[in-house]
Amino acid sequence: MMTRVFFLLTMTALATNAKTPNDDPFLWLEEVDGAKALAWVNQQNAATTGVLTNHPKFKEVYDKTLEILNSKERIAYPSVRGEHVYNFWQDEQYPRGVWRRTPLSDYANENPSWETLVDFSALSEKEGENWSFKGVDVHRPDNDICMVRLSRGGGDAVVSREFDLEKKAFVENGFVLEEAKSDTSWLDRDTLLVGTDFGENSMTASGYPRVVKKWRRGTPLSAAELVFEGERDDVSVRSFVQVAADRKYVVVSRGISFYEGEYHALENGELIKLDLPLDADLNGFFKGHALVQTKSDWTVAGQTVRGGSLVAVAYEPLLEGKHEIDALFTPTARDSLGSVASTENQLIVRVFKGGRHDELFRHAFVDGTWTAEKMVAPELGTLSIISADDDSDRFFLTHESALEPRSLYYSPSIGASMVKMKSLPAFFAAEDYRVELHEAASKDGTMIPYTVVLPKAAKLDGANPALLYGYGGFEISLRPSYSPVMGSTWLANGGVFVTANIRGGGEFGPAWHQAARKENKQRSYDDFIAVSEDLIARGYCSAKTLGVQGGSNGGLLVGVVATQRPDLYEAVVCAIPLLDMMRYNKLLAGASWMAEYGNPDVPEEWAYIRKYSPYQNLAKDGDYPKILFTTSTRDDRVHPGHARKMAAKMEWFGLPFFYYENTEGGHGAGVTTEQRALTDSLERVYLLKMLK
């Protein structure tokens, strides 16, 4: 345990909860790379790994986790561009990954002939950097050049470099953007639309670009021409270019808040603001139509479009402020819009059925008429469109469920049967487990669905070690998924795994999310607590065998329930969390989330935030579970100071905890498979230690 020397300056502030940020004695832990802060981190890491890596199960869990993460039997997920399939792959040979491609005709073979485009381990060694791959922006329709995004240590800020896909090399004297949270789109092969840190107050308070400029090849970035400028308090300004068979669509979006924004079409050098609701999402274009997802009811053109619908809005009339609308999907009480993907001649809409499984629907626009049909696809599980080809009607999708390994299907054309192309092996014996579905009544009577995966031999006697996972924010849905690591290291050790579909998520459309925003955020926590109590009441576990886990907003979730109802939990995995809700909007990207949580600088909003903020509500005499905090030094989205300060405050109060901070990883568990295996194994062994 660290000596108290570091904490002697302003400890009297801890006699009661801090009333202002200046009362916080642990602000120095917000200095990400501060020598004092890193010394504290190193000491905590050593203490935690010293205990958990010596657990009898650690080596077995770590070796199995790393074996799965490096397995050659994993699916190489495809991205179709032209006649090639592109893939990013990591294993023991390529610890930082390799971006590669193979002809589409060869991809179906058991061992495709991959050609390397960028080996990030070799590039890191050559340049003395710890590069992590953050994706590409490919010039369409030629698919011959692209911007490759490189992150130092896995953070969101990237260096962007132009890459020649034919020469398989970075372009000499090509486009290069230095490290920033940048955004690029190809206007043509010699012109980029760029949002980046141009200096001179060009970034929003959230740390994202607030201007978009046109940058021509062969000119300095400083000479780029202004296209659009947002406000300092906006979340971000971005550009989007979609090259379709009928035309090129160029849009600049202004994110006013996380859930509200404007869309401006760039037509003949002029910007035209599209007359769409501020809270609607523009999901691309198809056959001369803008695809718009509504979040609230929209009365337009003599009709009311329900919130949560997908509508096609004729594009040319929209440019003139007119609305010709066709409804493609209208939600029901339990069916919600999942995702939208398009090929050359079909629009593929995924519908989340009752929060339990997916169905696919094909929409087409032929001779001025929309048609729709349910697609023949694998049933009773989670469907995900992995890649859809803009230049043909080819697409790939995956299917999985809690106990069924993920399989990759390929559809070569409209009307063709989907062919199962690849499958994960069964990493654990699914026949030894069962899935059960339940609902729990929340504090206000709302029924909250949850899913339980447990050994068939398990008895409902309250003795099972159970792990409850949740998120509950930003309209993100938790869907059934196959986890080889969870099955092999938790279920195989007698554990029960539970997923709760609490409010704040998107399982039942925008209303399910909006019911737990801002002043109603406590509902997410009430829902999670209700599921916890229901698990105990049904005999799946007891308070002494129940653990919870969540990351990011889910880290806030488990931090809240651990401080509000510590009597319910024996273990808490609090990963990359928000915890100090008084200062979250001043740390990194935090200001962008005020539409979710509220503004703590506004007294009326702080009044409801302070009631659940874990850092402010931690009590010196609280009887809390021994929480495991995990975070990353290089997380430039959720500040590592949240986890650091919460652990330091617990340390000063004499409360037990574990703490582990990975030096890489960004907003995740690590960059390399070894880093991810270590973080995951520490979390799993912690749960085995606390709950078994």
Coil, helix or strand for 524?
helix
DSSP output for 452-477: EEEETT--SSS-S-EEEE----TTPP
User: Is 488 one of the annotated active-site residues of the chain?
Assistant: no
Among 614, 620, 688, 691, smallest CA distance to 654 is for 620
Alpha-carbon distance 388 to 380, whole Å? Answer: 22
The dihedrals phi and psi of 397, each to the nearest 5 degrees, come to -140, 160
Among 141, 144, 210, 224, smallest CA distance to 181 is for 210
Burial of 425 (0-12, 13-18, 19+ CB in 10 A): exposed
Which residue type occupies 385?
I
- DSSP bridge pairs for 623: none
Alpha-carbon distance 678 to 674, whole Å? Answer: 6
447-455 and 433-441 strand pairing: antiparallel
Alpha-carbon distance 633 to 110, whole Å? Answer: 39
Scanning the structure block, which residue is given the tokens 């010596």? 54
Cα–Cα distances in angstroms (integers) from residue 632 to residues 33, 38, 371, 659, in the given order: 12, 12, 48, 11
- Beta strand ranges found along 595-687 (DSSP E): 627-632, 657-662
Alpha-carbon distance 130 to 150, whole Å? Answer: 9
Q: Which of 253, 384, 477, 552 is catalytic?
A: 552
Q: Which of 139, 289, 642, 667 is catalytic?
A: 667
Which residue type occupies 168?
K
Scanning the structure block, which residue is given the tokens 């339980």? 452
**Beta-sheet strand order (sheet of 281-286):** 281-286, 289-293, 310-314, 325-329
Alpha-carbon distance 261 to 255, whole Å? Answer: 4
Among 158, 164, 159, 189, smallest CA distance to 176 is for 159
To which H or E segment does residue 382 belong?
Answer: strand 382-388
How many helices and strands in the chain, by DSSP H and E? 14, 39
User: Is 667 one of the annotated active-site residues of the chain?
Assistant: yes
* Residues annotated as part of the active site: 552, 667
